[in-house]
Every structure is written in C-alpha cells, then in structure tokens.
Structure 1
Amino acid sequence: MDELDSAILGELQKDARQTNRELARRLGVAPSTALERVRSLERRGVIRGYHADVSLSALDRSVQALISVQVRPLHRQVIDSFQDFVAALPEVLSVFVVAGSDDFLLHVAVQDLDRLHAFLIDRLSKRKEVTGFKTSVIYRHTRSTLSPH
C-alpha cells in the first residue's frame, strides 16, 4: 500500500460508482494507472466488493438495536450453528462473535418497537442455547469510512 493506493481507496469509499476516468482525474494520474491500481487492490483482496448504501427508513426498518447474546455451552458447533441461524434472519444486519461476558453482538433493524420485541421473544428466546440477551436501542447511527492511512 502506497499513497496512491490509499488515495484510490479514499476516493472509492466516497463514490464507488465514479468512472475510472473520473477517478484518474481526481487523483491526477493516467486512466490506465488508476485502472491497474484498482485491479491490483481487488486481486490482493484489499477491495472486496462494491455495495449500495440503502436507507433503512426507506425500507420501513428505522428502528435499530444492538443485542448482546450469551449462549451455552460454548462449543464451536453451538457458536457456528447460532451464527448461521441469526445471519439468515432478515432483521439482522450484522453478526459479531465477541469476547467477554457476551458471545455475540447483533445489529438489527425492524419496523417498530413491537417488531423488535417480537424478534427478541419469538426468535432469540426460543433458542435453547441462548441463556440471556440485552438490548440497546440505537437512537442515531453514523457510519464512517475507513481511513486507508
């Protein structure tokens, strides 16, 4: 990673839909240089994909929460099975396997507080490996881009 690679990442995080020609102009390099560098970053796994930033409120899923979950017994099969289960649920945006007093942290988005409550009661509490969970409703969420430096 050099300064040009870092600049490319910064520009693509701002607007991944810009043309290669526009990217090159913004960086002050030849379009062929920009294209080769982007392809190199993709081959090396630095750039893993391009994604749409979707408005949750436009999808009527404006209530977000972080749910910390404890499971038992702590065996790989239990952890993997629970991770696969929650990752497939439409309410779940992200699943984190964590260290400490909690085993998982789930980021969920639902229509309203009633749907959040239903998710907790109908989905999580019915799982035999779940021994407890704690919910924090998110009032505001700001996503920052990763600084390549």
Structure 2
Amino acid sequence: MSSQSEQSHGADLDEIDRIIIDELVANARISNATLAQRAGIAPSTALLRTRALVDRGILTGYHAEVSLRSVGRTVQALISVKLRAHDREKIDAFVARIPQLPEVLSMFHVSGGTDYLLHIAVSSTEALRDWVLDNLATDESVGHTETTLVFAHHRGNRGPLPAEED
C-alpha cells in the first residue's frame, strides 16, 4: 500500500484509474459495461480495477444525492463556531453531538479565528434561527457563532487532480 504522502499526490494512478474515478464521480450508477467501454478495457478488467481502487482506499463509497429543495430544506447556511474554551472533554462532546443532528450536512474543524464550520440545511430562516439558538447558543462550550446564508452552491471537482505533465 502507498504511503499517505504518495496517496495525497495521486501516486500509482494511471490513465485508466483516472478514467474510472472520473466516470464514477460523474455517475456512481454507471454500469460496469459502460464504464469498461469508456475506459477502453474489458468489463472484467473494469470490475477488477474498480475493486482495487476500493481496496486501496481511493474510492471510499457510493451514495445517492438528494435535492435539498425537493425535500423542504430550502435554506442553507454556513455557521462559524468559536469555542469558549479548549477543554478536550467539551470539544469531544461537541464533535460527537453536532454532526449527528439531522440538519447538519458537514462539519469542518478549521484553523484561524474559527474552530468549526458547519454547513446546515433547514426549511426556513425561522428554523435556522431556532436551530442556532437550540443547538449552539445554549451549548456551554460555544463562545461565538456567525451565520452566513448560502444563496447558491456549485459543486467543484470531486475526483483526482489532472495528471501532471513531465
């Protein structure tokens, strides 16, 4: 297995691996036959190569993506959270609790003046206000929050970076 440093730089990914990854990122439900055709390899090879990418920890899962608007979660926000004190027990409790809340899409531990950045989706601005009050303002470990409404979200590249030219 490659070292963490090698994996982070895309080591051991050849052109076929990159095609497989790009196709699966674009459509995780692609058939193996179509995947093989697009990669220019036999279906049995496509299956073996895909399994190897999973075994190597490069492909970490497949998921369905839900339109938040279609399920009534029309308001998204990014919430910066600054903790009051850096007590390990309180940090661990915060980290264990917050990502489990159904409104939380992602939670990032970040550097700088903010400790955590939350991405949440709720049904309304009133629900957003209530969520912040109920889950952050009342948490004794939280010292400060700042909420930013998300007007639009544009997904970036979720696959490997393009291969470097020699």
TM range (shorter): over 0.9
Write the letter of the residue equivalent to 1:18. Answer: I
Match of 1:81 in 2: 93
2:148 to 132, 136, 141: 136
Within 5 A, what are the aligned runs for 1:46-85? 46-85=58-97
73-82 vs 89-98, greater mean Cα deviation:
73-82
Matched, 1:97 2:102: no
Within 2, Cα distance between the matches of 1:107 and 1:30?
Answer: 41
Match of 1:119 in 2: 131
Question: How far 1:68 moved relative to its partner?
Answer: 0.2
Once the two structures are aligned, what percentage of the paired residues are identical? 45
Question: How far 1:18 moved relative to its partner?
Answer: 1.1
Match of 2:5 in 1: none
Q: Is the 8 A contact 2:78 2:118 kept in 1?
A: yes
Partner SS for 1:48: coil
Aligned length: 149
Instruction: Provide, for residues 51-101 of structure 1, a one-character-per-residue CA deviation record: whole Å limited to 9, x for no partner.
Output: 111100011001000000011221332222111111111111001011110
Write the letter of the residue equivalent to 1:45. Answer: G
Partner SS for 1:58: helix
Instruction: Provide, for residues 81-129 of structure 1, a one-character-per-residue CA deviation record: whole Å limited to 9, x for no partner.
Output: 1111111111110010111101000000000000000011111100001
TM-score normalised according to structure 1 size: 0.96
Question: How far 1:12 moved relative to its partner?
Answer: 0.4
Question: How far 1:27 moved relative to its partner?
Answer: 1.3
Within 1, Cα distance between the matches of 2:125 and 2:28?
Answer: 34
Instruction: Provide, for residues 5-25 of structure 1, a one-character-per-residue CA deviation record: whole Å limited to 9, x for no partner.
Output: 111100001111011111001
Structure 2, unmatched stretches of 5+, are 1-12
Within 5 A, what are the aligned runs for 1:3-42? 3-42=15-54
Write the letter of the residue equivalent to 1:20. Answer: N
TM-score normalised according to structure 2 size: 0.87
Question: How far 1:3 moved relative to its partner?
Answer: 1.1
Question: How far 1:28 moved relative to its partner?
Answer: 1.2
Q: Is the 8 A contact 2:91 2:141 kept in 1?
A: no
